Amino acid sequence: MKNPKNHFKASILSGAHQLGMWNSIGGNTVAELLGGAGYDWVLIDCEHSAIETVEVLPALQALAAVPEVSATARVAGNDPVLIKRMLDMGVQTLMVPFVQSAEEAQAAVDAMRYGPRGIRGMAGMTRATRYGKIKDYYTTAEEDLCLIVQVETVAGMDALEDIANIDGVDAVFIGPSDLSASMGHPGQVNHPEVVAAIENGIERLQAVNVPAGVMALDVDMAKHFMAKGALFTAVGVDLVILAQAVANLREQFD
């Protein structure tokens, strides 16, 4: 058995835009629904949601039923233990939040790689190896692993090229919410200064040939960043969409 091809990684490296959706509601039902909704990628979020690492597995299994969608996941932090567990579950595209320096980016890369290139622990009977069926997994896994580091502070933006140029960083995701707070405009993701900083970040990443990603829940803003060159864009969060739909329905009865 061969290691599954990472279509998300191949697509962004070839310059093909990938449209994404955020999964912050635990369990396999919502993940399965999102997987069949026509998006290119669905991110299972363990940082700003109640989803624990162990709950990623059923979500991955649900998403696997739709070959057209790429399952991705965000760990709670830049922790080699959490990264190891995610990778062993079969996560191929992993987002690491709050990376602010080249050193922190290198730590994430090291956690993604087996020795001698990194520090990822080896285990044979995992979902990643298809329970031992992928015989050459340890020597081929890296080809289809995709590391996205999330840059979301002024310090991170200042070090953007240093972070992006670390060997093993496949893409950079600019986080508007934390960036807005770091810039002194908490919660104002559409503030002109925040938007300008994101645009500048996308342009700088293009200059060093590293795919840039961003979240934009406003449709016009999402299209704007896509036009500027963002190669993977998250345009919705399941819990936000549910809250909006519930509120809109209630308003019909006032």
Annotated catalytic sites, by residue?
48
Buried b or exposed e, range 228-242, using 16+ CB within 10 angstroms: bebbbbbbbbbbeee
Q: What is the dihedral of CA 197, 95, 140, 103, to 10 degrees?
A: 60
Distance of CA 219 to the CA centre of its chain: 19
> H-type helices in the chain, by residue range?
7-13, 29-35, 56-63, 80-88, 102-112, 137-140, 154-158, 160-164, 176-182, 192-207, 219-228, 238-251
Return all residues near 112 (Cβ < 8 A) that are at least 6 apart.
83, 87, 94, 118, 120, 142, 145, 147, 168
